[in-house]
Amino acid sequence: MFRSPFVPPAAQRRRPTRLLGSSTAGALAALVLLSGCGSASAPTSDGPEPDPAPTVAAAEAETADETSPQDETIESGSSPATADAEETEATGETEAEPAPEPDPEPVQPQSFSGTGAEVVMLESLGDDVFFAAVTHQGSSNIALWSVDENGQDLDLLVNDIGNYEGQVALNFSEDPAAIRVEADGDWTIDLVPLSEAPRWDGETTYEATGDSIVIVDGVADGLTPVTLTHQGESNFAIWAWGESYPDLIVNDIGTYDGTTLLPDGSLVLQVDADGAWTIAVQ
């Protein structure tokens, strides 16, 4: 009844690689300059050593002449950055921080009802996950397809005969834009947040009837055998949804009684059944 497409893992953010070419060139240039700054040895002479005073005085005069106005500004302690900081401190004005973006409003549950064949247009579901609670009062086939924005069928959500009541996955893997209904009687479709689905803690036997959505977060930790039963005539299938694609742990026809493994880290069970079924940790 439900096609389980592969759900790819979240794309990893890749940190950009820093280019080092210009920094390396600058470092090499600095090494070249430093290598030419060694001390030269004084020439030897038989005569008396000259008085160093004139040489020192000439060096000091040359240094004074080469002093730039920018050096004088730096020595006076009035750099542009310091001036801006002093002006800001004097006026008391500070740069305003950007206001945080508001959290997106949760999507409101949607409800629909009708009779016979119809197409139901859905409002955007955003990042929220929903299941659909469906009912049908009729004597013929009831079928529901989720449809994408291009009008292509995504999944067959419901396919039954006569009266129907059940819970089915809606946007667990893909975002539908509409639901196409084929029915001969009155029907209802209620979109329910996944967080409001029934929960099973694994401590006791869980019992339900028909198509169901069950939260099992925390039940499967490592190797977890579970015993399953089904009292029905049609298909009995269970998908265990984790953080990636779902595992099909049971797929049989009619009455079923057996033991299988609940995958480690399972979060939600999606059950297709036409009768009463149970699950219990062995």
3-state SS string for the chain = CCCCCCCCCCCCCCCCCCCCHHHHHHHHHHHHHHHCCCCCCCCCCCCCCCCHHHHHHHHHHHHHHHCCHHHHHHHHCCCHHHHHHHHHHHHCCCCCCCCCCCCCCCCCCCEEEEECCEEEECCCCCCCCEEEEEEEECCCEEEEEEECCCCCEEEEEEEEECCEEEEEECCCCCCCCEEEEECCCEEEEEEEEHHHCCECCCCCCEEEECCEEEECCCCCCCCCEEEEEEECCCEEEEEEECCCCCEEEEEEECCEEEEEECCCCCCEEEEECCCEEEEEEC
How many percent of the chain have pLDDT more than 90? 59
Residue 45 vs residue 280, higher pLDDT = 280
- pLDDT bin (cut points 50, 70, 90) of residue 86 is low
User: For 130-181, what is each residue's pLDDT tens digit?
Assistant: 999 999 999 999 999 999 999 999 999 999 999 999 999 999 999 999 999 9
Query: How much is the mean pLDDT over the chain?
Result: 77
> What domains sit in the chain, N to C, each tagged with a CATH number?
111-196 (2.60.120.380), 206-281 (2.60.120.1050)
| CA distances (Å), origin 93, targets 76, 79, 98, 187, 247 | 26, 20, 15, 63, 60
Mean pLDDT of 243-269: 95
What the block records as the tokens of 260 is 């299988």
Q: Estimate to the nearest angstrom the gap between the alpha carbon of 215 and the chain centroid.
A: 20
Q: In the predicted model, is pLDDT for residue 198 greater than 60?
A: yes
**Tokens encoding 65:** 């002449």
* Tokens matching residue 155: 């999944």
Measured from the Cβ of residue 231, the count of other Cβ atoms closer than 10 Å reads 16
The pair of three-digit structure tokens given for residue 128, joined into one six-digit string: 């929220």
Q: Among 5-14, 49-58, 237-246, 251-260, which stretch is predicted with the lowest mean pLDDT? A: 5-14
pLDDT, tens digit (0-9, with 9 covering 90-100), for 212-231: 999 999 999 999 999 999 99
Average pLDDT over residues 2-25: 31
% of residues, the chain, pLDDT over 70: 63
Number of Cβ within a 10 Å radius of residue 163: 12
Query: Is it the case that residue 73 has pLDDT exceeding 50?
Result: no
- Asked whether 182 and 143 are in contact (CB, 8 A), the reply is yes
CA distance 156 to 198: 23
Residue 79 pLDDT = 53
Q: Return the pLDDT at 244.
A: 76
pLDDT of amino acid 257: 98
**pLDDT for the residue numbered 261:** 97
User: For the segment 20-59, what is each residue's pLDDT rounded down to a tens digit?
Assistant: 233 333 333 333 233 333 333 334 444 445 454 444 444 4
pLDDT higher than 80, residue 18: no
